[in-house]
Amino acid sequence: MIPRYEFKIPCAASLLPQIEAWVWLHPAHWRVAYPPRQVNNLYFDSLDLQSLNANLSGVGQREKLRLRWYGSDLRRVAGAQLELKCRRGTTGWKEITPFAGTLDLARGSWPALLATLRDGLDVRARQWLALYTQPVLINAYERAYYETPDGLLRLTLDTQLRAYDQRFAALPNLCQPGLSTGEMVVELKAPVDDAAMQRVSDLLTTFPARAERFSKYLQGLLAALDFEDTLA
């Protein structure tokens, strides 16, 4: 996919009314781009947690692998796609392959589920799974979608974040969330060009919170590891 600028703004859920007012009253004239929905992700990593460590170290060139699907039933994986998310500084893009199958996370062991997943992927996606072999984290959140009238700038608002640690689990863990807080995340995305970057900079100067590095995968796993204090 085409690279784009990506900026994340984590903030307290108590700011939701203020942020929604900013969206609707801003002269950028944000409009709803897509109906709100629940986003679900299964993140993979290597045995030595290569993706996690790259993010912790602030490596500018990094990747992470996730299976993404939508819907309020977290257990049912249907219409999913495997995404290799690539990051180069403030720009990012995704390589995407559809998963031609379904998974029921309420039934079956991880080895059986992963075998079904591999059977429903193309050769390229299987190579990604050969690098990032371990199911590490499942997360879910509610996402609202906005865009400017010209469609060049996109804004998403993620609330009700929750995450489930999958490390060392023989079966999918959907019962013990390691992260379930009042935090929410706003993401701003724009094409990689000077004009778009200037528009994003202007938006960020008026936003009620400050953009900073943030990873839902990192945050969820650190919470599961009981390392919240390291982010203070």
Please state, in angstroms and rounded to a whole number, the distance separating the CA atoms of residues 115 and 72: 24
**To 10 degrees, what angle do helices 123-131 and 110-119 make?**
150
pLDDT of residue 177 exceeding 70: no
* Share above pLDDT 90 across residues of the chain, in percent, rounded to a whole number: 74
> Which residues, other chains included, contact 43 with Cβ-Cβ below 8 Å and sequence gap of 6+?
51, 64, 65, 66, 135, 136, 137, 138, 139, 217
Instruction: Compute the mean pLDDT over every residue in the chain, rounded to the nearest whole number.
Output: 91
- Would you list the domain boundaries of the chain? 4-231
Distance CA 12, CA 132 (A): 32
CA distance 99 to 81: 5
For residues 196 and 5, the answer to whether their CB atoms sit within 8 Å is: yes
- The band of 99, judged by pLDDT with boundaries at 50, 70 and 90, is very high
Range 4-231 has CATH code 3.40.50.300: no
pLDDT band at 200 (very low <50, low <70, confident <90, very high): very high
Q: pLDDT grade, residue 84 (50/70/90)?
A: very high
**4 DSSP β-pair partners:** 92, 191
Backbone angles phi, psi at 217, to 5 degrees: -65, -50
Q: What is d(CA 156, CA 189) in angstroms, rounded to the nearest whole number? A: 9
User: For residue 146, what pLDDT band results from cuts at 50, 70 and 90?
Assistant: very high
pLDDT band, very low/low/confident/very high, at 232 (cuts 50, 70, 90): very low
List, for residues 105-123, the tens digit of each pLDDT value: 999 999 999 999 999 999 9
